[in-house]
Amino acid sequence: MSRPPDLSREADPCEPLPRLLADLGTGPGGLSEREAARRLVAYGPNEVSRRERASLAHDAVVQLVHPLALLLWGAGALAFVAGTPVLGWAILAVVALNAVFALLQERQAEQAVEELARYLPDRARVVRDGTERTLDAGELVRGDLLLLDEGDKVPADARLVEGSLEIDLSMLTGESAPVDRVAAESEKGLPALREPNLVFSGTMCTGGQAKGVVYATGGHTELGRIAALSQRTRRETSPLERQVQRAAWLIAAVAVGMGIAFLLVGALAGLPLADALMFAIGLLVANVPEGLLPTITLALAVGVRVLARQGAVVKRLSAVETLGSTDVICTDKTGTLTANRMRLRAVWTLHDGERPAEAGTGELGRAAAECTTVDRDEHGLVGDPTEIALVEGCTHWAEGQEGGTAGRDARRAALFRFDARRRLMSVVTTDADRMTVVVKGAPEAVLPLVTDPPVADPARQRVLSAVANMAGRGLRVLAVAARDLGPGPEPGREPRRRQDAERDLRLLGLVGLYDPPRPEVADAVRRCHTAGLRVHVVTGDNGITAAAVAREVGIGRPELVTVADSETLDDAALDRLLAGEAEVVFARSSPETKLKIADALRAQGRIVAMTGDGANDAPALRRADIGVAMGRSGTGVAREAATMVLTDDSFATIVTAIESGRRVYDNVRKFIVYIFAHAVPEIVPFLVFALSGGAVPIPLTVVQILAIDLGTDTLPALALGREPAEPGIMSRPPRSRSQGVVSGRMLLRAWGTIGVLSAILTMTAFFYVLWRAGWRPGAPTGVGAPLHHAYLTATTATFAGLVACQVGTAMAARTEHASLRQVGLFTNPMLLAGIAFELAFTAALIYLPPVQRLLGTAALPLDVLLLIMCFPLLIWGSDELRRWADRRRHRPHGEMETGDDRGGGTP
């Protein structure tokens, strides 16, 4: 009895067929049902595995235990201990609302693996025990003999052992033209997708019949490997997420440290326990920017909606900010830099040289149009854009006696479709008295098959020079050759194999097709260079053609380097190339090359945007910081794996998205300044209370702080997220990956200048009200005391004064360096509406009796109101003076420095 095959290791599908069949333990009658069942149990079903998503409960816990939430949990617990359950429940409600909002946003899970799974068929036909049978595709095992026919979806990776197929590989490669697969010997050294005898799970049979032996199932197929890479390539937290997390831990440490320190101070000063606990609660709540996380989330969500209107659908909120820090774009050429509207521009023959296509294409054009597979429907020509351009360029052929596509098909005796490996296609055509082979493809693929002119003939050099000249002008060059098979269309006389057809050819000439750059791309590239972004082109096209297009749109600053065959570039050379200053055209690239480039750039600390359209681009799209898929030409898998989908497929939309990302990041910093600025005036009242040993009553209650943080502050903060971009936003270099969203310069502005001035003004209002009522330190102000109403009015003055200071802060935070006059007072109507709501809401909290009892507020006299009305002008005016001094200080150095250059950035 023969030894059973060892299926613990993967079979090599390219080894000689008898050896492969032996390794898989397969005979002419296929596997036995018993052996197939054993293999199914041992090696698992033919399914693409799915990584389980985290449970809803897990995600909810994550949102409830981040540092800022823990601070609020602690404050709520202290409120219950201090006997103020209403305050405790209010604080816990804030925690819950923040968690629910964040959870709803984060549950927008990506569906790349599920999209891949949908490519798998439900049923498959196999031969087992010598009999054909149909079974669930999930029951296929390695070694099964698989039967494939036109219209079938391939259920597993297989090597053909009989027959031939026409296969649509577009879901793996993004190429629309079907390719031929035939039972033949393997050609060593080729990538698996180019092997002429292999078919792959999830692809579609568009013609032919064949039998194949399954050599890989489930996660071991090409489709399964893409799914595994998509799952292993986990999403990393964005720079903004990491920086906000660090800021949250910093705030938590400061708040806890201050709380413990001042609890000890209160105990030494003899404060009652209830007062000490209330003081600790006040410090915790005042330090926590309750509105920060939801405001950031909302600002990013608004950015996503704006980008969608601009043609870029962003699938992850934090990616909006990552876009703003992008410093390298790796882009495809066709359809992204170019319009994907190919036109026949020139023809070249040995006899006439080059001439415009409009001057007539003659025999060369007719032959090229015959060697196409485009069809015509009610909307016009459909098929490959290059072939459509050939047919449209030969108007005599398309509209004259040749009969267009219908006449072409009637004359065709044989068709050998375009082979991506050989980079050519051929047809055999007949007419009344002749049979002819026509071959069309890349010049470097067709010329070795040409014998007229001979290799040694000087005319060969003229051909090569013409190819280089046309490609150097950005034309896509195809060579067209033919061979006369003699008189008469005798059935059965046409070649049956393409090797027999594609030989001993006579060169008819060259055709040059032009895909014009999109009109908006050159300006977009210029904006990239102004913004310090580098642009690399990663394409499967010829290097000379791709480099010409790159130069035409302005890529190549300070210089352009072309890698003619990117597949041969080793890792060390790639690292050296990407570490230099040049922009690079990576020609003849594959999806694997894209993944290598993304990895190499990220290893150098770059933030990378990478475009792609095929399913096997998915790993590179997920590995890049920003994966960009094409909405029109991209496959479903690429769109699901990407971070951003372009609805117009245009490079310019990527640049617009980067500009929007920078604007969103700047605006996040603006409302961080706005939110952080009121921490000092909220903390100072409790410090005054503690340091006075209780002689000064608490100038601001905890409930009033919550009303400010969650009520009056929210709309202006959100409106700052809609602030238009400041001038010069695309004239500064990208920020580094390590640069924090919260900088020392920002904190100095928020806490050290605006915050301190706000605290001075609010305490002035508080003591002014008490002073005018005759209060002296230590005088009782509790319920029933003569000064109780004056105390309520004084805390209300503190509350209203803080709101007024925040109005001034909102106007000041709109810009870091420019004056408000340059930015424009009315350029953000949402902010003006938010301030109006803030003032109206504050008035309701102060003057409505039910709310007065809840918040402990009282109506303010006219003189106090007039005093408080000055606060916004004082806050805004002081910051305007700071900006004016800052501009004067840097004016002698030439162009005004950006905030990023000085480490602070534009808040």
φ and ψ at 133, to 5 degrees?
Answer: -150, 160
Cis preceding-peptide flag for 724 (omega within 30 of 0):
no
Report CA-CA distances (Å) from 183 to 67, 208, 429. Answer: 63, 12, 25
Do 102 and 248 contact (CB within 8 A), yes or no? Answer: no
Count of H helices and E strands in the chain?
37, 25
Placement of tokens 């937290």 in the chain? 237
Locus of tokens 């501009």: 887
Give the count of alpha carbons within 13 A of 8, CB side only.
Answer: 2
Strand partners, 630: 646
Q: Are 373 and 417 a contacting pair, CB within 8 Å?
A: yes
Report the 3 state secondary structure along 331-371. Answer: ECCCCCCECCCCEEEEEEECCCEEEEHHHCCHHHHHHHHHC
User: Residue 628 in 3-state DSSP?
Assistant: strand
Q: Which alpha helices (H) appear in 351-483, and where do they start and end?
A: 362-370, 385-393, 395-399, 404-411, 443-446, 458-472
* Percent of residues in the chain assigned helix, strand, coil, to nearest 5: 50, 15, 35
| 795 vs 765: CA distance, rounded Å | 9
* From 327, 332, 515, 879, the catalytic residue: 332
b/e code 255-293 from CB counts within 10 Å (16+ = b): bbebbeebbebbeebebeeebbbbbbbbbbbbbbbbbbb
The CA distance from 721 to 901, in Å, is 23
Question: In sequence order, which residues have a C-beta less than 8 Å from that of residue 80 and are 6 or more positions away?
Answer: 88
Could you confirm whether 122 is annotated as catalytic?
no
What SS3 class is residue 782?
Answer: coil
- Looking up tokens 């001042």 gives 262
Q: How many CB atoms lie within 10 A of CB 232?
A: 11
Quick one: tokens of 572?
A: 């060390």
Separation of alpha carbons 399 and 405, rounded Å? 10
Question: In 566-617, which residue ranges form alpha helices assigned H by DSSP?
Answer: 571-579, 591-603
Sign of the C-alpha dihedral computed for residues 392, 396, 397 and 402 taken in this order: positive
Q: How far apart are CA 537 and CA 111, in angstroms?
A: 28
User: Could you identify the residue written with the tokens 């065709």?
Assistant: 412
- Is the preceding peptide bond at 558 cis, omega within 30 degrees of 0? yes
User: Using an 8 Å Cβ cutoff, are 586 and 538 in contact?
Assistant: yes
* Sequence letter at residue 380: G
- Whose tokens are 């394409």? That residue is 539
Sign of CA dihedral 450, 453, 457, 463: negative
| Three state DSSP letters for 867-894 | HHHCHHHHHHHHHHHHHHHHHHHHHHHC
CB 645 within 8 A of CB 636: no
Cis before residue 356, ω within 30 degrees of 0?
Answer: no
Give the CA distances from residue 591 to residues 13, 408, 420, 632, in Å, rounded to whole numbers and listed in that order.
Answer: 21, 35, 14, 19
Question: What are the tokens at 735?
Answer: 């920020």
Write out the E strands in 283-327: 312-314
3-state secondary structure of 197: coil
CA–CA distance, 704 with 713 (Å, rounded to integer)? 12
Residues acting as catalytic residues: 332
